[in-house]
Each structure stands twice: as structure tokens, then as C-alpha cells.
Amino acid sequence: MTIYCKLHEAFVGPIGRGVFASIPLSKGDFVLEYRGKLLTPDNPPVIETYSETEATYLFDFQWKGKSWCLDASLEDQSLGRLLNDEHKTPNCKMWPVEVDGMPHLCLFAIRDIVEGKKSATVMVI
């Protein structure tokens, strides 16, 4: 089990790994960064080169009027790639945050998250 300041990874039966809050999180708190290889509008992903599983880790988003993609298909020990896409009862939202002129995808709590509860995100920017 990997433990971070606010989150930890645990196995969830047949589903696989999940991300859980290690401490209570408040609405508006930064939760984590969804990390991976940033593919610019000039270097989009060639979807045919990804397996079905790898393609689930591609995150397309709009930033400054252009289409970008973050490729988190490679395991890097970060927790962002383990979050679930939740549309009915999300507790986080992804926002692009500019750092040194480049976008970074960051998750923020949209409601209070109780310790031990699974962290989920709705994939809307």
C-alpha cells in the first residue's frame, strides 16, 4: 500500500486499485495532480498505438482554445491515474492549472470527503 499525505492506494476486490482519503478533505481542497506525458496540439496521440486499457488513461482537455491530451498510460507510482470516472456522485473536479506556461491537470474536492472514502472524479473541465 502506498500512502501519501492526503491519499492512499488500496486494492478493491475485482475492480483493482483505488484511491482513498487518508484524512478528511474539505470542499475546495487540492487533492492531487493527474500526471503523465503532456501531448501538445502539435503532437496529438495516435490512438491506434494504444491498447484498449492504455487508452483509458488518455485525458483530452481544452486549454487556451486548443485540444491537449495527457497520457497517463505508463505506471509512474502517482495516484491520479487510479481515480475513477464518476458521473452520478463525484467528489472531485479536474481543472487545468498553468505552471510555467504549461497546463497541469489538478483535482479539487467539490464537496467534503470523509476519511476512508474512495476519491472519484467527474471528467469535466
Which pLDDT score is estimated for 47? 82
Which pLDDT score is estimated for 74? 78
pLDDT in tens, 58-108: 888 999 999 999 998 877 777 776 776 666 778 888 889 999 999 999 988
The contacts of residue 99 (CB under 8 Å, 6+ apart) are none
What distance in Å separates the CA atoms of residue 5 and residue 48, rounded to the nearest whole number?
37
Fold for 7-121, please state it: Beta-clip-like (2.170.270)
In the chain, where are the structural domains located? 7-121
What distance in Å separates the CA atoms of residue 76 and residue 54, rounded to the nearest whole number?
13
Q: Which residue has the higher pLDDT, 87 or 117?
A: 87
Is residue 40 scored above 50 in pLDDT? yes
Q: Residue 92: what residue type?
A: C
Q: Which residue has the higher pLDDT, 119 or 61?
A: 61
Phi, psi of 80 (to 5 degrees): -55, -40
Q: Tell me, yes or no, if the pTM score tops 0.85.
A: no
What distance in Å separates the CA atoms of residue 35 and residue 78, rounded to the nearest whole number?
7
Q: Which of 90, 120, 107 is CA-nearest to residue 20?
A: 120
